[in-house]
Amino acid sequence: MTDTDKPRRTPFARHIMSRLITACVLLSSATASGSPAIPKKSAPGHTVFVLTFEPGADLFAAFGHTALVVERPGTGPRKVYNFGTYDFDAPDAKLRYAAGDLTYRLSVSTYKSTLERYRHFGRGGTLQELSLGPEQAEELVALLEEHTQPEKRTYQYRHFTNNCSTKVRDLIDRVTGGALSAQFKSRLAVRTYREWTRHYTGPFPLWAAAIDFALGPAADEPVSRFDEQYLPSTLADDLARATLKDPPRPLVRRTETFGPLGSAPFRDKDAWEIWYFIVAGAVFFAAALLPIALGDRTASRRIFGCALTAWGFVTGILGALLLLLQTTAHTDTHFNENHLLSPLTNLWLIVPGIGLLLKGRLTAHVGRATKIYLWASFGLITADLAWKFIDDAPQDNWRYLVAASICVAGMIAAFQRSGVRK
């Protein structure tokens, strides 16, 4: 068709066309100036989820677990990127773990197999879809793939500062331009690292007491809510509250839950703390009452010798372990004030303890040394305990100090009453 053959528009047609164009311009302008929508998932792009499992029934699963899930339509099943993998089957794995050489690695598995494995152990959780833009999602996936390379796959695990949850947090924070750190670093945490440890290890009283005793003042330092996201449940909660910019939107698009939920056996905070120092203090303080209750002083001296031997052995071994931890990479145990109540030198008390068990009496020299040592130990313990109430002491270990002061006071009283010296 030539130009001469084209129909000519009438003024009325031009008027209608002008109105239609104006309406389209106004409509597009209104849409641009209205409330911004959450970015749609691009068809060929990646969708990223945060997978959070609730705590399990054994100690290593007591804090829960976090991983990242990546889905791309048309490329196979969802992939789970798990930063919490440790080879416990290696010949020297447990020895390296004790020394603080916690070489964890990133592993990749399918979402279905991961879910089946955790469900087998009765652990439920949540799956949170992140509302990342296409470029943010691609960057996150690229970082994950980079971490799967042999030279970057492993890292030194640290329970409070570098674990499966903080790895996920830091990657999300990086691709969102610091959204998490900006919103949560200025907020004070609800509890300290020690308090959270007591809470999550509550179902395991003996392990809870051992871990609490081993933790030094670093576990009592104030931390931010951002630091508190080392806990998988805290990270999941904060992701649900976090927002993104350009355009403004919630970080989590939607959340799915899968069961069984609520299966973790929790106790109230510090429920395990009461029995051990009351019982231990009462048992050892009984050594002070036996010389009075029993007419036979020889028998009471031997009972006191048994208590002295037990105290020296238990606290001395604990002191040796604390010194050993001081030489490892477990920095959260360093500079522990519990050295004052359980020094390695307490092993010396085994000598007068065995002497009383075998002979019922001590030489003047050994008796005098024992008395001085017990009084010095009591002085250090009570001084540290007084510091807790007078000032804001760096380590929360007053429970152990109370127990130790009762025990040592009982042994001093028993020493005075029993007439152990020749």
243, β-bridge pairs? 250
User: Residues of the chain whose pLDDT is less than 50?
Assistant: 1-43, 265, 267-269, 271-272
pLDDT score, position 219: 95
Contact 417, 291 (CB under 8 A): yes
Distance in angstroms (rounded) separating the CA atoms of residues 222 and 208: 21
Q: What is the pLDDT of residue 115?
A: 92
Token readout for 222 is 């104030």
Using a 10 angstrom Cβ sphere, with 0-12 exposed, 13-18 middle and 19 or more buried, the burial of residue 115 is buried
- Ordered DSSP codes for 136-161: HHHHHHHHHHHHTSTTTSEEE-BTTT
Computed over its alpha carbons, how large is the radius of gyration of the chain? 32
Among residues 166, 144, 168, the alpha carbon closest in space to that of 67 is found at: 168
Nearest to 155 by CA among 201, 105, 108, 206: 105
Instruction: Quote the CA–CA distance of 109 and 96 in Å, as a whole number.
Output: 26
Q: CB–CB of 41/227 below 8 Å?
A: no
Please tell me the distance from the alpha carbon of residue 352 to that of residue 362, in angstroms, as a whole number. Answer: 7
Q: End-to-end CA distance of the chain: give it in Å, rounded.
A: 131
The Cα–Cα gap between 87 and 105 comes to: 9
pLDDT tens for 177-206 read 999 999 999 999 989 999 999 989 888 888
For 71-95, the pLDDT digits (tens) are: 988 778 999 999 999 887 777 777 8
Strands of 90-149 (E only): list them.
Answer: 103-110, 125-130
CA distance 345 to 361: 22
What single DSSP character describes residue 266?
-
| Structure confidence at residue 21 (pLDDT) | 38
pLDDT of 164 reads: 96
If residue 65 lies in a helix (H) or strand (E), which one and from where to where? strand 65-71
The pLDDT value given to residue 261: 64
Give me the phi and psi of 161, to 5 degrees please.
-125, -15
pLDDT of residue 224: 96
Give the domains, in start order, of the chain with CATH numbers.
47-189+224-258 (3.90.1720), 273-418 (no CATH)
* The pLDDT value given to residue 275: 58
Separation between Cα atoms, residue 306 and residue 284, nearest integer Å: 10
279, 283, 284, 288: CA torsion to nearest 10: 130
CA 131 to chain centroid: 27
In terms of Cα–Cα distance, which of 253, 34, 248, 40 is closest to 133? 40
What is the pLDDT, as a whole number, of residue 9? 42
What pLDDT is stored for residue 279 in this prediction? 66
